[in-house]
Structure formats: structure tokens, C-alpha cells
Structure 1
Amino acid sequence: MDFAGKRVWIIGASAGIGAALARAFAVRGARLTLSARDAAALEALAADCGGAGVLPLDLAQPGALAVAIGQLGPEPLDIILCAAALYDPSRVADMDPANAARMVQVNLLGTLEVARLCPPLLRDGGQLVLFGSVAGYVGLPGGQPYSATKAAVNNLAESLAAELAPRVDVRLVCPGFVRSRLTAKNDFTMPAIITPEQAADHVLRGLAGRAFEIHFPRRFTLAIKLLRLLPHALVLRLTRRMAG
């Protein structure tokens, strides 16, 4: 796919994969609108992206997405990517309820709002790209409630792909471990970890292809997919060992 001249809105653009995607799209000539909570970070990123548009947005705030949409203008979009997410790893017994509620609000309910309000903004054949996660494939110890919200997003994207076809091309992105301020919270060795720039390259190559799910790095994601296919008795035996 040639991204030159494409109108792209990235929600969750201020850091990590979102910021790397903004720079990658800009290099390829896309016309960008960048959204996230951190307006200062967006302004700095926009300067690196040839003067991309900046539209601050906090998906945790009810009604904020509708307000942002009202400021976009009437021209149809080619691609909308929702990469906004919060992460706070913990065991269930140790989790902070307030942090858990924020993760559900942004990761799940915010994505649901994108799914509800954004498809009419796309041209026919435009792409709606939701970021799930490999963390949503299998229930692993220490991942709650992030993993649960991402499992829901994975499921949501599958539903949307059926509901919105053929007018909207729904894609699901499921990254493995990507070096960022979120994964910096992990206190374990992360297998096959990659940089945000490598992740962005995987996403763009995936969007240029035809596969519904874009998952990477495959040496890791395929192993987790295999785990998901095993009988529950075996999977639970393995995950109990991880729980220690």
C-alpha cells in the first residue's frame, strides 16, 4: 500500500508504538492527525512529522472522543488506529482497584467508543485498526486486568470485522513485547522484545497486506498461539508453574 497522501488518525500517538507509527507514516507521506492525553508530547512529535495535526484526547473522559471527532473536519479518513492503552501489571489480590478501573476505561471502553463512533469517518474501504495484544491470547499470571481488557479487544475486532465488512477494513494488531515506558514496568525477562520502530514496521507491512491480524514478532507470537491450542489441563499446568 502506498501511504502517500493518505489521511491517518492515530489515537495514542504520544509515545511507544503510536509515536513510532506517526514517524513511519510521515516518512511515507501520510497526512496525520495525532491524538493522546499529553498535548506537549504531541506537539513535539508533530514537529518531527512535518507539521502533523494535533488533537489532544483522553479516552478515559466520557464524551471526549465525540468532541474530538467534531474537530476533525469533513474530509474522509483513510486509516484510524487506536493504540491508546494503560498497563499496570499485578496479581489480582494486589491490584489497585482505581488503576484497574482506569485500564478498563481506556483499554476496553475507550476502544468500544472508537468502534462505535469512528467507522462513519472512514472512506469506503478505509481501515479501522485496533490494538489488542498477545497478552489477550491466554490468561497468564500477573497480567490482570490488562490481559483481560486486551482479550476483550481481540474479540471486539473479530466481531467488527464481520459487522463492518465490506465497507470498512478492520484490522487487529497483537504485539508481543515492545520496549516502551509500559513494558519498563515488567520485572521479568521479556522474550523476543523489539523496539517501537521495529513494531511500526511490522504494522505498516501488515496494513499493506491482507491479513486480518497483524502479530509480531512471530517467533514469539506463534509460540503463544500454539499454547492457546493446547488442552486447558495442560495450559493451566504450565501457567501455574509461571505463577510460582
Structure 2
Amino acid sequence: MPDSDAIRERIWIIGASDGIGAALARAWAGPKVELILSARSKAPLTALAERLGPGHMVLPLDVSDRAQLEAAAEQITADGPLDRIVHLAALYDPGMVADLDPDRAAQIVAVNLTGSFHVAQVAPRLLRPGGQLALCGSVAGYIGLPLGQIYSASKAGVINLAESLRTEWAGQTDVRLISPGFVDTRLTRKNRFAMPALSTPEQAAKAIMAGLDGRRFEIHFPRRFTRALKLLRALPYWASLPLLKRLIT
């Protein structure tokens, strides 16, 4: 652990083993930043930490397991308060709702939505006053997209949770919502359809970092795509639902 006087920020990235989380870690890493890297798999976290250099903590956990999260919180607290928590961990399986295995559906909800709830509950005691909690929704949560399965529903729940927390914790914790469009990651490579405005993890990390340093509640990108979906969400159902049906017909 580096000397505390040399640390400008302590940042906990949950979901750091690959994709956007790993890109964020690479972009943030520096002599005055201490990163706590979490995900379910230890090996990729360890490899990432070795590439980033000394002074970073590897803390494997499953956010759907409250006991694991509480144990991690105790370890983090021992070294002082955090400046930011960025929660990106998620599960995703594309396809029709009727085709999804019920046990897999429960697992997706447990990680995406209940996991976000667990992180939100432990965050206040880990963050410094005015520290930042960023939860990751998705543009898939804006409206019930075809082929979104339970993933879209779970991300709609995360958006709702972040909105509630933003009001409940006003003046105490800086709550932010991250709403990515399509990003080229291990999860989105499962898709069997063309993904408009596809971003790289590095582009996503750049947008997130800029957004978290700004003042807006929601960080959504790429805007040429997210704005179109926001417009679709704003339409009355008689107009939006026929448009959505065209996506699968």
C-alpha cells in the first residue's frame, strides 16, 4: 500500500476484470490513485493489477452475495475512506423472454439489480463525505427492448434505484447513473444483431471519467444513439410500441 500522503483518490471498481471496468482501471491508474479491483474471477484481476503497477488491491467478490460484499467492505474500511465507488458488474443473456431459463433469470436479477442494491447499502460507510457512488444502468433499461429479456428489466430497476438514491442522499453522497449504449465487450459479443454506434471499452471509459468529473446525474453515451432512445422512451405507447415491434419483424 502506498503512503497515504501520496494518494489523491481511492477508487473501488466493481466489475473490473474486463471490458469497461478494466479500461477504467487502466485509464485511472497512476501514482496518486489507489484502485480496489473487484469481480468474481480473481485471475484476471490479479493480471490487471500486475500490469497497473504496485499500490492497488485485488478483492474478488460476487455482488449478489451480501456476506462477500460485507467482508470486502471491512477490508476496504481498514485503509480509510473511498472517494469513488463505480459499480459495473452485470450479467447478460440476449434472446426472447419465453426462452430464458428461470434460474438464469434469477441470477441476472441477483447480480444486476440486487447487487446494485447491496453496493448502495454499504457505500455510505465506505465513502468520504461527499464521495461518489456510480451505478451502471443501460440504455436497455430506458424502454422494454425486444431481445432484452430480463436484462432490460433489471437495468430499468437500477435506473430507478439510482434516481431514488440521488434524492435520498442529496448533499451527502454524489450519486451518478451510467447508461452505456453498445460497447464491444465479452457480454455484447453474445448479440446476433448489428449493434449501432458501437463503442470500444476505452471510449466508454473516457466518457465515464469525463462524466463523473462533471455535474450531470446521468452519463450516457454515445449521445447520437442514446438521444434517439430517450426520444423513443418519451413517445406515448401507441407510437413507441409499433416502432419497437419493427426491430424483430
- Bin of the TM-score, shorter chain as denominator length: over 0.9
Cross-structure match for 1:197: 202
Report the residue type matching 1:11 in the other structure: I
Identity %: 59
What is the rounded CA distance, in whole Å, between the counterparts of 2:208 and 2:145 in structure 1? 25
Task: Let me know the Cα RMSD of the aligned residues.
Answer: 1.1
Cross-structure match for 2:4: none
Cross-structure match for 2:186: 181
Q: Does 1:134 align with 2:169?
A: no
Q: CA deviation at 1:28?
A: 7.5
Q: Does 1:102 align with 2:112?
A: no
Q: Does 1:143 align with 2:148?
A: yes
Cross-structure match for 1:71: 75
How is 1:34-113 mapped onto 2 (pairs within 5 angstroms)? 34-51=37-54, 52-72=56-76, 73-113=78-118
Q: CA deviation at 1:93?
A: 1.1
Using the size of structure 1 for normalisation, the TM-score is 0.96
Unaligned 5+ runs, structure 1: none
Per-residue displacement from partner, 1:48-71 (whole Å, max 9, x unpaired)?
Answer: 222311011111324110011111
Q: CA deviation at 1:74?
A: 4.4
Higher mean C-alpha deviation, range 206-215 or range 73-82: 73-82
What is the rounded CA distance, in whole Å, between the counterparts of 2:248 and 2:193 in structure 1? 12
Unaligned 5+ runs, structure 2: 1-6
Q: CA deviation at 1:34?
A: 0.3
Number of residue equivalences: 241
Instruction: For residue 173 of structure 1, give the secondary structure of its aligned residue in structure 2.
Output: strand
Using the size of structure 2 for normalisation, the TM-score is 0.94
What is the rounded CA distance, in whole Å, between the counterparts of 2:84 and 2:108 in structure 1? 25
Report the residue type matching 1:71 in the other structure: Q
